[in-house]
Structure 1
Amino acid sequence: MKPLVVIGFLGSTLDAGKFGPTRWNKWRPSVAIAMHEDLRVDRFVLIHGKQHYRLADQVAADIASVSPETEVDQRLLGFDDPWEFEEVYGKLLDFARDYPFDPDKEDYLIHITTGTHVLQICLFLLTEARFLPGRLLQTQPAKKMDGNFPGRLSTIDLDLSRYDSLASRFAVQMAEGSSFLKSGIETKNKAFNALIDEIEQVGGRSKAPILLTGPTGAGKSRLARRIFELKKLKHQVSGSFVEVNCATLRGDSAMSALFGHTKGAFTGAASERAGLLRTADKGMLFLDEIGELGADEQAMILRAIEEKR
């Protein structure tokens, strides 16, 4: 078996106890992990803030007393505000990038019972993104405490392919999405089916812009609308589907149609106009024949879309 490493935050409340023998009467999650007879922890990376040095030392000593084979690696990671998502995620990401992970030689458990809810969320996100290459570890006290009884623990592997029932459900949903994009018309054309499956993965799960290419009459407009309808079924959009034939846009009128204008902005601007980009807000904007626009107009549109994202 590979050595097991647990990474977790010091719980300033849950791990705290009076500095005396009575502290053993309380379930303390970080210490309890090392008390499980069927879980050999070779190294415990105990992350703590600046104000908790003394508690961290006590917890580290208690872990050593109940599990002498466990090396405790105390890591200082201070936060100005442990409830501020951007700060917490950024510092945890830096920690994950700097830590010498070696999944081929070690197994990792990411303890998410202690710390603020923001810390727990960030640990989940970083584990799901594989910046922390391990499984999640949840712990809880036993229903009836009995002295030093360590409570219960469970692990969660975020690789959903390992869960047969979930994998089957995702496969069914993907097949339903692909069938929806085909308007229910099945085909044995492997290239077409592969294309639709790829569009289902990107169009049905991402907010990134999509470029559809093909000759006139290939069905790009129809496919774009089906992608919109699929996104709407998945609650990814709530606005309208706005289709623009860029071949009909020229010069100032193009920018006016796309970005809108105020009354009197130019000759003929008798009233304010919202613009198609604003009309498509929270929905989908399909720019048909976008290649007919000039490079400057294309760049402006892409910048506007990027800023909106």
Structure 2
Amino acid sequence: MAIGFLGTTLDRVGKGAERWNKWRPTVGLCQQPDLLVHRLELIHCEDARDRGLAERIRDDIAQVSPETDVRLHAMQLRDPWDFEEVYGALHDFTSGYAFDTEYEDYLVHITTGTHVAQICWFLLTEARYLPARLIQTSPARRLDTERKASGIHTLIDLDLSRYDRIASRFRRERQETLAFLKSGIATRNAAFNRSVEQIERVAIRSRAPMLLVGPTGAGKSFLARRIYELKRARHQIQGRFVEVNCATLRGDGAMSALFGHVKGAFTGAQNARDGLLRAADGGMLFLDEIGELGLDEQAMLLKAIEERRFFPLGSDREMESDFLLIAGTHRDLRGRVTEGLFREDLFARINLWTFELPGLAGRREDIEPNIDFELERHARELGRQVRFNVEARRRYLAFATSSEARWAGNFRELSASVTRMATLADSGRIDETLVEEELQRLRRAWQSDGPDVTPLRTLLDDEVMVGLDLFDRLQLESVIGVCREARSLSDAGRRLFAVSRQGKANPNDADRLRKYLARFGLEWSAVVSHPDG
């Protein structure tokens, strides 16, 4: 399948029967003896003169190459020498075209059209917006009378400098790509922004494995799928996105799930199975929690990555699969190598591009845009717009960004929290009552998770609690712990101020402690008699 401009000068040469003795690049492209053009997308200007020429060229091609389906495309270009206009028009054309690279081979004919059009064709092809090769046609040599009309063709490469306006358009598109990888969230975390910028470059330029490291719920799976969608949009990948959590694979089941098996390979193997590596052929395989794989599976995976071949379980016949690999883990794989739990050669193979994904606790500045993102996603999926009341939003954000919020499940837990409130919101409004119910639900969940929970939540008002710096919270927790072990207010004061009281002529440790507790609205009796004590 070929794409090209109508040659308003070269394609117009000759009149009547005489035109068959002249070289016309568009007709000649379809006359190449070793190149069959099944379909030609011929772009021409909208005016009647060029439209008439395009129709004549289509009719002439039908005579010399009846197998070629010529499709005419009228394009409005006020100035065919304006880079920005031509690039924009061709970019829109390619973006809207339904490429099918699995069944069709694409060529871009750059002989016709202005030099500006040729440069734009090259840039679009180089950036993979066009999944095509460039082809140039030219007249045959004088002595080659047999090819006088058809001419010859050459696959070529170009080396062209960039232009400011085109470069600025690339920059805009790159920003859109970065936003796509970040799920459209304008992250405020500098470290995460740097990681995503590098991931974008690597995703477009490399087929090497990537390793995403971060806690459960940090978004490894979601980011892997976005990388896949980006590469697919650039026509760099055609197959499926196949995801597996390696922590769920054990024994023969792990081998079978990854590499497939033949019938009778093990007890219960009543039918043959292709396996996930085979399913990912031509696409992308995401192995989450790769550190949980057994050593045998790791050895076979290394061979599959390096040679694109592997043996299904119980088979002596190798299978092939050409896939891109993204691995995810929350573990320290280097440490597992030292412990003998992970193969050093496999780690070296997947460690070329390693990116750290911080958990929600490390990206608290991104909680607010993530809340908005989750509400927008809720609206898209359910067709129901939900918003916070002003005070409810302030209350939820104060809690969500405070040191009290553990977010052990990271972004997945935040998503669940917002979804619950959006689902329960009457008339599409999340009010203070709903927020308070959700905060209590989160506190109960975190309290049941383990001993991290402090008595401060039951001693302090919510307003006081969310306003505490981590420094004040840790200090106050320690003071309360001493108070509950002491026999009296004075005893607690002596323990807490054992050093500084030495420099005072008349130390009043009890009064000093009482004033400290009063800063947080606490009294001694409440601290020591509380049920948590």
- TM-score for both structures, normalised by structure 2: 0.29
- TM-score for both structures, normalised by structure 1: 0.49
